[in-house]
Structures are given as C-alpha cells and as structure tokens.
Structure 1
Amino acid sequence: MTNASKESIITDAALAPEGKLKIDWVQAHMPVLNSIREQFEKELPFKGLKVAISLHLEAKTAYLAKVIQAGGAEVTITGSNPLSTQDDVCAALVSDGITVFAKYNPSPEEYKSHLIKTLETKPDLIIDDGGDLVTILHSERQDLLSQVRGGAEETTTGILRLKALEKENKLQFPMIAVNDAFCKYLFDNRYGTGQSVWDGINRTTNLVVAGKTVVVVGYGWCGKGVAMRAKGLGAKVVVTEVDAIKAVEAHMDGFTVLPMGEAAKIGDYFVTVTGNRDVIRGEHYDVMKDGAILSNAGHFDIEVNKVELEERSQSKRTVRRNIEEYQLKNGNKIYLLAEGRLVNLAAGDGHPAEIMDMTFALQAMSLKYANDHYTALGNKVVPVPYEIDEQVARIKLASMGISIDRLTDAQKKYLDSWAE
C-alpha cells in the first residue's frame, strides 16, 4: 500500500479502474501535455518538491497531476468545487501514488477540511482555482506560508482575489496569472466554456434551445463563448453588462444588450459568467417568466442569489437530477441548475480535452517558471511569459499538422526599426 493510499480521503478505492479509463481517454487527446510530460520526465524540474493542487477534480485535471508527478513532484490534490469531483478519478489517482483529499458532494465542513489537509502537506508550489488555497494560507494557516515558493492561478475569480491581496501588500509569494494568458482566455474561456456550458445545460434539461431567448450575464471571454454557442443553437441572445466597452462589443457582435431588469422579463435561459455575486437576484425573480431556467458558469455559487430565490418561493423540490424547481409565491416556477454551481462541471464533464490540453500545458509550464524564478519574481501577480504562451501554441499547431510562416531576417529588421 502506497503512502498516498494510506493518507488519502476518497469515496471508494475500488472505483479506480473506471477512473483510469477516463484518464487514458483524455491523455490520448492531450498532445501538448504529452509533449511536456516527455520533457518533464527527462529534466525532472520538480524533483524533491511537494506540489498542492486545487482544481475541478476530473479526468483532465488528473492527467495534469500525473504530468507534474512525472516531473519529480510529490503531488497532493483536492477539488475546487464540491459537485465537480469525480470519485472514480480520485481513486485512480490514489492508485498511481498521488495523495487525494476529495469526494463528490462533501459537506461544507468536509470540503474545507480537504483544502486544509492538502495544505498541511507543506507544499513548495501550488496550483489554485478560485483562490481558496491562497486565501486559507493568508488567513487561518499562515503557519504554512514560509514553505511556499509560488504557484499558478486558473481563473478570473482567483486572480481578482490575488490582486486584492497584492494591492494590500499582503500577498506572500508570486502567483502566475494563467487565466490571463492568450492560450487560456482565447480558447479555454471562449471555446471551452462555450461548448461545455451548453453540454451541461442540454444534457441536464433535455429541452430545445432553438427559438428561445438566452440571457448571457457578462460579456467577457467566457460570456462571448456562451453567447456564440447559444446563437449557433438557434437562440435569440440577450447580453447584460456593466462594462460600457464590452456592451458595445456585444451589440456589434449582433446581440441585444439590455439591463438585467429588462432582460429578466424575456429570458428562457439565463447563464451567469461574471465572477461577481448577486447578478441575478430578488427583483429579477419577480418579473421572470414561468419556467425560466437559471444556471451559473462563472465561479462560486453566489452569482445567482439563492437566498432571495428561496425567500420568494413557497416550495422547492428536485424534479430531475441537477434541477431544482422553485415554486414562487406569485405562482411562477423557476428552475435552478446544479445548485447554482458551475453548470458545465457540476452537471457535465467540463471543457473538451483538446481545450484543456492547452490550459493545463500553461499550468505545467507556469509552475516550472514559478519554481525556476521565484526568488526574482517578488510577491505579486505575474503574467504568463509570452514565450510560454507561444510554445504551447506551437506544440498545439504541430499536433494538428498545421504549419505557419516565420518572419524573414529583413522583416524582423523592419519591425525593429523606426526608419523606413
């Protein structure tokens, strides 16, 4: 029995064979990460180091953990969302010598304890999703801070929290802003979110999208992807925004732009993608149509205000897996998907493997960069170096059999010169 199996907290070790099949499937569709794994196996950039990971714990994340393990690290992993953890994948990781503290749908107390146990392994490096690990390290477990060299953050929400820490001069180690890399937001946020959100909604509801009105709350890169895919499914798309520039962009992309107070009256589907709280709330429920379907694709389960939804309801029941029906006091019914958690993961399998291939390649290379340069980076939020972004893109192109041009020496000289 490995140390990982002795220490881990998972639901059922017997599920490992099912989890291995899932991991094998995504590995076969992640050529960029496979290339980086080969590099890591030769160089062992994390030899002798401990790495703690908090991400949505499913097959693609599991393969990232195995790639980092192949680089010489002792890896411990936990989930970043109670409903996105897949128990068979957890079991498979434990059988491969990775320590896991995670199970599907834990209590809030269990979920928190899993995060803390992950940090109590005293990691040198971390990968975070939403900032939970960093927040715990900077609040209740500051005793574990001194060991951490740095890490990488996956999401918009997490980077917002990191920048707030940095602004107050409280961030104690460098964190690479993976979410802000070109190969993250252009592909993962846009194409990954766009496809996986509708995968989750469609498989959960089994209802048609064509001809209905979809309200996309927030027009960042994730919102762009959700709106684009909704349009492709035949929906009429309405966008709500608080950013004037993004609102103009949504309008010029062909979508109707309205305040939420007006959009709430006409929407059939609502998808929040803001990273903020209470973007759908009490006054919006009061004017929604009977049968409106609410979902969140931002981050935490606070974008849709569940407290105010319950206050306006006379009853609540589960009518289908991952669908809760709220019978409002005004007689209308509103349906909330996946408890307001990330619909693409809590009610689906997350982004396609080929998309996460690029994102997790960025994570792996950014973690190596953080370890190689942590003494020089300072205690701040650090952009992903363009060289890493470009390297990931070039490996991706090669895996697809695509070649591109290169600048000639004369062209390089011209671009570097101020004279004609």
Structure 2
Amino acid sequence: MELGERRISWAARSMPVLTAIGERFAAERPLDGLRISACLHVTAETAVLMGALRAGGATIALAASNPLSTQDDVAEALRGYGIDVHARAGVDRATYYRHIHQALDLGPDLVLDDGCDLVNILHTERVDLLDGVTGGCEETTTGIIRLRQMTAEGALRFPVVAVNDTLTKRMFDNRYGTGQSTLDGVMRATNLMLAGRTVVVAGFGFCGRGVAERAKGLGARVVVTEIDPVKALDATLQGYEVRPMAEAAVLGDLFITVTGNRDVITGEHLVLMRDGAVLANAGHFDVEIDVRALGELAVEVHTGVRPNTDEYVLADGRRILLLAEGRLVNLTAAEGHPAAVMDMSFSAQALAVAWLARERAGLAPGVYDVPEGIDAEVARLKLAATGIAIDYLTPEQESYLHSWRVGS
C-alpha cells in the first residue's frame, strides 16, 4: 500500500486543478449521499479523481476499464482510503466483466465509464438497477460512439455527459497525452529507435494527430491511413503521406492504430508486412488489430520476448511483433497519460459529476455536452496553476463584439 500511496502523491503534485476542486468539494459536499459506480483505468491519476469525489460526499465502487491497465498498488491504496475497488492487473475477460458487475452491486445513482462497458452491462444484464441510475459521464471517443448509437436507437435510459468531447479533453488529453504516452509505451516495450523508421498511424483524429506529431518529432517518416476525406486532407496539408492500409502495410516498421473501430489491421494486411514489423494499438478496445488472424497466420508464437512484446513467426520466417496483446499500449507498456494532462480531463469529469448531481432531475435520457462554463473554468484554473496570465476583453471590446451597427 505504501508504494501505491507514493504513486498517488506523486501524481497529485502535477494535478493542482483537481486537487483544488477536491478541496472545494470537501467544503461544499455536492455529492453527499450519492453512490457512484465507476469503470475507469485504475491508475494513480484516477485515484486523485476518486479522492475528489469521495471528498464531495460520494460512496464509490471502482472497476477497471482495461484488464491490463490496473496498477495493483494503487488499487490497494484506494481500498485503504475507503473506496471499494474491484480490479487486478492481468485478469481474464470473464473476471474483467465480473469486476464490473461487482462495482454495479453498489446500486449506483451515478456512473462513470471509460469505453461504455459498464453502461452496456447496465442496459443488457443489470436492467434491475436502471431505474436508480439518474446520470453518468463517459471519458472516451469509443464510449461516446456507442452511447450516441444507443441514443439513436432509443435504448439509453439516462443522461450521460460526453466528457471526452470538451475542447480541453480533445486537445490536451487526446492529442498531447495520447501522443506522448503511446510512443512512451512503444519504446519501453521495444527500445525501438524511431528516427529514420516508417511509422504508420491509422486514424487522424485528435489521438492519431498527437501520435503522428510525436513520431514525426522523433525523426520518423509518418504515413497516415484514414477513411474520413477531411481528416485525410488535413493530414496531407500537414505534410504527412496518406495511403490506404493495403499500401501502407508494405512500408511500415511500426503500426499504431488509433481509430476506435475494429479490423483496422486484418489478415490481408499482415501478410504484406516486412520482417520485424511492430504492431501497437492506442484505441480503447483490442479489436483494431485482428489478433486472431495473426495467431492463425503464425507457425510459432514466442510470448514475452520483451516485457509486453510477443513475437509471431510466419511460415516464410518473417516475424511480426505485437505489443500489449493488442490492448492499449500506453496503459499496458507505460503508465498512461502524464498526470498534468489528466489533471484537466479529470477536473472536467469531477465538475461534470457535480453538475449532474444538481441537474439530473431535469435531464431526459441522451448524450449531453459538458456545459461550456466547465471547460472554460478548467482551462482558467490550469493557467492560474501554471502561472500563465492572459488578456481580458475591455468593455469597449465586449460592446463591439455584441454590436452589428459598427462596420469598417
């Protein structure tokens, strides 16, 4: 437990905004009497969020949103703080889902999700609890995609705030956090030098953009694959080479999938790859790389050739290296996003939970944007914490912006 406490304390040093919100929650108690079931990555940064919510009066049960991302020492420390944690690193799929069920046994008023697995189980296997759930928050792009589909089909039974869709989350967490932590995970797992190598980035959303920028900054030749013509054009205008995956497959030394969709790299691509190609996934679920097809193509599999690195030998002798079993490489082979990045994402999450606690009775089921004021407040607090000052509009400027009578 001591190691977990040290981890949490170290993360909190870089999370001044969330720490301040926790202090405010302790004084105001906006979550008094509320039960929260959460399915999040069990890391030191998440622990700081759990502490803020508990300070606000919530009773919390926490499960992991990825079987390989749990930091066991942090989980133990959280239990010592009075938070009910159901998570252990490296569990199998059945245990992963059992842990989510155990977190739901709390009988939540509010839920926090990272990937929509908890919300999915609520709507399919734990419908007995749905009437008691009055709101939730979702942290990831993948989760928001699933929630919007549920809404379109009339299946979602309570309001959910799309924390992922804030400007601070997309810009800092998705772009800078994913960019840095993904390459951190790749290099820890492989000790690969990126300068002069060809890195194929599948997906050019905020996360893919961050990965591409960091790889380019380390001297790599970056090839982008995309299905969205606007994003593909954006990548082209930023100087990246854009190709279909079938063409990129023969070029890449390192492939990183960041799409939120399945079957991005399939058997037809795997057979084209060069000897020593490295596959990594930074999308939420382990479906972007067809790991089953890779296993079927292999005549030998050498697990653990390096930590979090498995080697698949094909019939012609070519070797393909799969990182983190195709799961999130940045949270499996590394420690996830830097705490300074998660400070903003989790601050928005904490303030959104408090907003939900206040407003949930008047909200119909559906997906809601984070109120604009919350995003701006998080950015202001972060600037203040880092000692950065900005300009403010003068009364004359305010008047000008709200007038149509003054022209050139």
Residue 235 of structure 2: aligned partner: 250
In 1, Cα distance between equivalents of 2:224 and 2:182: 16
2:122 alignment counterpart: 137
What's 2:296 paired with?
311
Matched, 1:402 2:402: no
Partner AA of 1:416 in structure 2? H
Structure 1 residue 418 displacement after superposition: 2.0
Aligned to 2:21: 36
CA distance in 2, matches of 1:221, 1:207: 24
Q: Which residue of 1 aligns with 2:175?
A: 190
What secondary structure does 1:77 align onto?
A: strand
Q: Write the letter of the residue equivalent to 2:322.
A: L
Letter in 1 for 2:223: V
- Equivalent of 1:331 in 314, 317, 337: 317
Q: Distance in 2 between matches of 1:196 and 1:345?
A: 8
CA RMSD of superposed structures (Å): 0.7
2:179 and 2:210 in contact (8 A); partners too: yes
Structure 2 partner of 1:386:
372
Q: 2:12–2:19: 8 Å Cα contact kept in structure 1?
A: yes
The DSSP-based 3-state class of the residue aligned with 2:379 is helix
Does the 8 Å CA contact 2:19/2:48 hold for their aligned counterparts?
A: no
Give, in whole Å, the separation in 1 of the partners of 2:396 and 2:105.
55
Which one-letter code corresponds to 1:359 in the other structure?
A: S
Q: Is the contact made by 2:253 and 2:277 (CA closer than 8 Å) also made in structure 1? A: yes
- Equivalent residue number for residue 152 of structure 2: 167
Letter in 1 for 2:358: D
Q: CA deviation at 1:29?
A: 1.1
Alignment match, 1:178: 163
In 1, the alpha carbon distance for the partners of 2:45 and 2:402 equals: 41
Aligned partner (choices 331, 351, 357) of residue 371 of structure 1:
357
TM-score between the two structures when normalised by the length of structure 1: 0.96
Amino acid at match of 1:40: F
* Residue 353, structure 1, aligned to residue 310, structure 2: no
Partner of 2:63: 78
d(CA) in 2 for partners of 1:139 and 1:386? 32
Tell me what 2:256 maps to: 271
The residue correspondences of 1:99-248 to structure 2 (distance < 5 A) are: 99-248=84-233
Letter matched to residue 29 of structure 1: S
- Percentage of matched positions with identical amino acids: 53
Residue identity matched to 2:287 = I
Distance 2:222 2:153 in 1: 39
Q: Kindly state the Cα deviation for residue 331 of structure 1 after the two structures are TM-superposed.
A: 2.0
Q: 2:83 corresponds to which residue?
A: 98
Question: What code does the residue aligned with 1:354 have?
Answer: A
The CA distance in 2 between the partners of 1:190 and 1:314, in whole Å, is 38
4+ aligned runs moved over 6 Å, structure 1: none
Distance (whole Å) between structure 1 residues aligned to residue 97 and residue 33 of structure 2: 27
Give the gaps of 5 or more residues in structure 1: 1-15
Letter in 2 for 1:362: A
SS in 1 for 2:161: strand
Tell me the TM-score normalised to structure 2 length. Answer: 0.98
Shift of 1:241: 0.2
Q: 2: distance between equivalents of 1:160 and 1:47?
A: 31
Which residue among 269, 281, 284 is the counterpart of 1:299? Answer: 284
Question: What are the Cα deviations for residues 72-111 of structure 1, in whole angstroms up to 9, with x where unaligned?
Answer: 0111111000000011000000011111111011121111
Q: Distance in 1 between matches of 2:349 and 2:226?
A: 30
Alignment-mate amino acid for residue 325 of structure 2: E
Deviation at 1:35, TM superposition (A): 1.2
Which amino acid is 1:20 matched to?
E
Displacement, 1:410? 1.6
Report how far residue 34 of structure 1 moved.
1.0
Could you say what secondary structure the match of 1:89 adopts? helix
Q: Distance in 2 between matches of 1:400 and 1:25?
A: 17
2:267 maps to which residue?
Answer: 282
Partners of 2:405 and 2:332 in 1: how far apart?
Answer: 56
Aligned 8 A contact 2:174 2:210 in 1: yes
Deviation at 1:375, TM superposition (A): 1.7
- Supply the distance in 2 between the matched residues of 1:116 and 1:419 (Cα, whole angstroms): 60
Q: Distance in 1 between matches of 2:152 and 2:385?
A: 40
Code of the residue aligned with 1:154 in structure 2: it is E
Gaps of 5+ in 2: none
Deviation per CA, 1:345-375: give whole Å up to 9, x if none. Answer: 0111000000000000011011111111112
The residue identity in structure 2 corresponding to 1:141 is R
C-alpha separation between the residues in 1 aligned to 2:231 and 2:92? 38
C-alpha offsets along residues 8-45 of structure 1, whole Å, 9 cap, x if unaligned? xxxxxxxx111000000011110110111111011101
SS of the aligned residue for 2:42 comes to coil
